[in-house]
Structure 1
Amino acid sequence: MSTSIKHAAEIQIVSRIDNNYKLKCTAYVIKQVTEILPVKKLNNENWLQLHGLPLADPTYNNPGKIDLLLGVNVYTDILMNGVIKGKPGSPLAQQTALGWIISGGAPVEEFGKNGKIVSMHLSVNLDNMLQRFWESETLETDNKNTLTPLEVRAEEIYVKTLARDHDGRFIVGLPFSSDTPILPEQSREIAMKRLHHLERKLAKNTKLKEDYDNVIKEYLTLKHMEPADKPRFDDESSAIEAHEQLQQVMSKCGFDLQKWSSNSPEFMNALQPEKREKSPTLDMNRKNCIKTLGIIWETDKDNLKVTQKQIDHKSIEPVTKRTILSQIASLFDPLGWLAPAIIIAKMFMQKLWLAKLNWDEDLPEDLRLEWTRYQEDLSVLSDIEIERWTGCSQNTNIELHGDTSYVY
């Protein structure tokens, strides 16, 4: 069995024997560690040397899933001095900080002819993972093998079944994983049970019920949408006309555009109330602003800003290559406006590489201070405002020039 690793997590292991013993380590997330082990229940009645021991896994002789595989670096940390051996051919017990663990063999007749040998090997190259993290932000990407078989099948179903009914609405087949899908029996009964459970939950929480009702009412008026090029307008009358034309075209396909917003009162008054954005986001520091995917539009000034999660440079968390990489990955820049600032963080990461620091090694004082100054400077990003309109009309050539004589 082989698998690729896409996620990792910092975990803390607590001993079931000693609650004061805690061990932090990095866990790499995979879909399945191994098959069910042991393959059948083991008879441990004759293993007298194991009776009465506080085991790390009291149900070791029963078939079950393996939730966590400890590497040798963790194994050496939990080992203790105690070892108990039994008769030749029987397993031994090794004392650890997590409890006594069992190792060794079992009689062949316990497994029969269908016994399996399981070998596990985990190899993770964090440098390669980081390289792929940088490459994911480049303009050119390798499109080979980017889709899984199920994703390819879903796309094929879409291409083969896409059609329009007599009202112009689009119809597409459901992307089942096989040509003969096995649908759940009594699906109506299952759905009714879930509905009744939800009704009971909402009956106990009036605020949740009110919010839920508002969302459902909105869904009743909304249709599916498709991306459209954003038009440019010279005045409100042309914007209103374009809105009406766009609504007519999209309605023929069953799409009813909703949540219109503008900094023009004349345009907004020309719309039906139910078609308008309900209410702008209330911000005590801004009069009118609308947020979408991390972008803030200040309608009163017609400016755009990027919301940015502030990094707490006063945190007591140790400053290591691992924590810095996590902080860099959290910088949100959907349109690339903050690239001149974020590139500095990536260049700093290259410095750490040249310094050959380990992932969890504290930074030298000079590098730590340099990173702290960068964190403090990030606070000014929230003050950057970009004018939404460039002041140019259609068929206008624009040239952008940047000064790269000084970087960091």
Structure 2
Amino acid sequence: MWTREQHSCEKLYNDTVTRSPNGRIVVKLPFKDDPACLGESYTTALRRFSAQERRLQRSPNLRTQYVEFMDEYERLGHMQVALSPNLNQPHYYIPHHCVLKPGSTTTKLRVVFDAFCQTTTQTSFNDIQMVGPIIQSELVVLLLQFRLHRFALTAEIVKMYRQVLVSEEHRMFQYILWRSSPNQEIQTFQLNTVTYGMEAKWHSNHKRFRGEHSVKDFNLDTSITSTLVLTWDQTHDNFLFSFQSRQPTNSRVTKRTILSTASSLFDPLGLLAPVIVTAKILLQEMWLLKL
């Protein structure tokens, strides 16, 4: 059953969504509270940007990737300079930082926008947003449905979320601070689109459609960090769990190290419960024996 907020969010979408002349979907932000409750956010965004910029100065390669990411963002029209930021009305500056994924076959660096950052009223942008209903099936159901057919294909659409425009009247709540070089002045930009979604690469258990990597992460959500930690071996068409013990070979075994090892295998779907429970039973017995 949907909550009242989920119904309200759905109704707002149906009542306000439009299309631009070039066919892009345009949405309004689903506020559940008056944006006037947002306090001052510029100072925090500036402090975090300055700290991030100092970090980038110490790592030229990281800085190059960050600048390239943001330059593409602007070049595609997904953000633009706000020539006259409207600071006399409710607005919000979103801090941003980078997340590295060295093992990725496409984007090694992503810029993440932190809309949970609180303003001077202890309220963040995300605090006043309605959350819509989950319209996909449960993850375990999606996983099982994936096994119903002989051949499987997976892919993500390039910059899918950034194809959806945010109504111009709400872009003042998506201000960010940016400059590509410390020699330039810091400018206010506005994000014109909904975030987020980056990769697109095809994978399949059929060799004709297979990419250059036969093993890929199998992610069923849209967050930056995978919630499944599941790997798909396309060649043998098997799902795998990766595990690396943090316990040094010759070190002393304690309850703490056993707990660390047992917690290292993240299994939110409970598919590995028969295996993981062994370590948990061992921990329980040690406590009972007062070891």
TM over 0.5: no
State the TM-score, normalizing by the size of structure 1.
0.32
- Structure of greater Rg: 1
Higher relative contact order (CA 8 A, sep 6+): 2
